[in-house]
A and B are shown apart, each in its own frame.
Chain A
Amino acid sequence: MELVQKALKGNRRAIARLISLAENEEKEAVTALREMFPLTGKAHIVGITGPPGSGKSTMTDKLVKELRKRGKKVAILAVDPASPFTGGAILGDRVRMSDLNLDEGVYIRSLSTRGKLGGLSKATHYAVKILDACGFDYIFIETVGVGQSEVDIIKTADSILVVTVPGLGDDIQAIKAGILEIGDIFIVNKADRDGANRVVIELEMMLGLNAEKDEWDHPILMTVASENKGIIEVVEAVIRHKEYLDKTGLLAERRRERLETEVLELVVQNMTRYVNEKFVKDGSFQEEVDKLVRKENDPYTLVQSILADTVK
């Protein structure tokens, strides 16, 4: 594909186009991904999650600037929720990163959840692969830590940064327990505010309870992202985690698992779509259900025949 060739040469418009194709689930996206797949697997993927307003975008901006100083190429996927009613969204994360706009070594893309279950994690997944193939050394995924689909997205990351801040009321409770479990590095941002130390202690306790004694030490770091304080430490922790994953073989293991999951999920998705198109759309599915209602058939036989038809 010509678009792929351009993207691989670093043309941002081509990269952007490919991500749109993936987002819109166009057929060409699959063609492109096929072509790009062999080139993937080099980028380190960093997930950054935490409540709205905790400073994720500010933090990403600063982390990326630090990585740029070290000569790394970085891409950012900033995910924001869409309105469940209209599907529209206002995506404002770029505002915090506008200095990076003109940096040739940085690519920023805003994505919305588009109110579709699962659809987003797939699009993000594809976007990560595209960016990985295009030679970005680090890929950041920013998302608010609420909702299953967001947890799913963040799970595609190699290193997961969980950001919290003092003064959220029930500080730690505000972080979804599920996210606490998957975090690799914990950041108490806005440490310029009162109560940061208390959050650190609470985090230590919670993590102590959860500790499933692995080698990784799950560091808790304090930052003031808006003032660029503590940023180098976070970058160092990310690099240390990357090395840890490499050394222990966990990276290869996780990536293998991820491929497994991806394939299984794609199978399910494709089958669902196939079934949809084949039966549901033309109304034949309703006829089959009518038969079930009249007890002329049973669900188990029906499923078997649908599946037999699908995998023919």
Chain B
Amino acid sequence: MSEKLIRVLVAKPGLDGHDRGAKVIARALRDAGMEVIYSGLRQTPEQIVAAAVQEDVDVVAMSLLSGAHNHLFPKVAKLLAEEGADDVLVMGGGVIPDSDIPFLKENGIAEVFTPGTPTGEVVNYIKNNVR
């Protein structure tokens, strides 16, 4: 009866408190018919992964503006893989210089969205890439 809905964990890793982007994305994904679990601020990679596993999400979408992405994003991807959840689509967004993107992609981040990306693009990306 009920069809499968895409479940997304929108997470704020690290200490950055700017959640405008995360909230906008959360609402946009909801309006696109997805189930969004919002982590709240200041989550460690371990907490994010625990939530992702328990919630059986298809996607983990992280937003970070503090510049700590190279440290935090790959850690989340690595811990997910350790839990056997490497089929989860891991995405990142925020103030991320283009030159960091190859490094992030090599380290388990499927896609990186920089400022100014329309939310529709994120929605489409998820719809096209969730298994």
Q: Which residues of A contact B (CB under 8 A)?
A: 12-13, 15-17, 19-20, 23-25, 82-83, 86-92, 94-95, 98, 101-102, 107-110, 112, 114, 116, 119, 123, 273
Contacts and interface: CB of A to CB of B under 8 A. Distances in A.
B118 interface: no
Contact of A86 (B4, B31, B54): B31
Contacts of B105: none
A101 B51 contact: yes
B129 to A, nearest CB: 18
B81 interface: no
Contacts of B50: 101-102
A102 B46 contact: yes
B61 to A, nearest CB: 13
B79 to A, nearest CB: 11
A94 B37 contact: yes
B37 A101 contact: no
Closest 8 CB pairs of A and B: A95-B40, A16-B56, A88-B30, A101-B50, A86-B33, A101-B47, A88-B33, A20-B56
Given A20-B56, A98-B47, A107-B54, A88 B83 contact: no
Contacts of A23: 2
A36 B117 CA distance: 46
Given A101-B50, A107-B54, A89 B1 contact: no
A110 B37 contact: yes
Nearest to A118: B1
A119 B36 contact: no
B54 A12 contact: yes
B29 interface: yes
B58 to A, nearest CB: 10
B35 interface: yes
B36 A89 contact: yes
A114 B5 contact: yes
B56 A90 contact: no
Which residue among A82, A107, A110, A123 has the maximum number of chain B CB atoms within 10 Å of its CB?
A: A110
Interface string B1-37: 1111101000000000000000000110111111111
Contact of B35 (A19, A25, A88, A123): A88
Given A101-B47, A102-B50, A116-B1, 17 more contacts: A13-B53, A13-B83, A20-B56, A24-B3, A86-B33, A87-B33, A88-B5, A89-B35, A90-B36, A92-B38, A92-B40, A94-B51, A95-B39, A95-B40, A98-B40, A109-B54, A119-B2
Interface residues of B, number: 32
A123 B46 CA distance: 28
Contact of B2 (A13, A17, A25): A25
A16 B33 contact: no
Contacts of B38: 90-92, 94-95
A98 B39 contact: yes
B84 to A, nearest CB: 6
B7 to A, nearest CB: 8
A242 B4 CA distance: 36
Contacts of A112: 5, 35
Contacts of A116: 1-2
A213 B7 CA distance: 46
Contacts of A94: 37-40, 51, 55
A108 B37 CA distance: 12
A86 B37 contact: no
Nearest to A92: B38
27 contacts: A16-B55, A20-B7, A24-B4, A25-B2, A83-B30, A87-B33, A88-B5, A88-B30, A88-B31, A89-B30, A90-B27, A90-B30, A91-B35, A91-B36, A92-B38, A94-B38, A94-B39, A95-B40, A98-B39, A101-B46, A101-B51, A101-B54, A102-B46, A107-B54, A110-B35, A110-B37, A116-B1
B85 interface: yes
Contacts of A82: 35
A24 B54 contact: no
A131 to B, nearest CB: 11
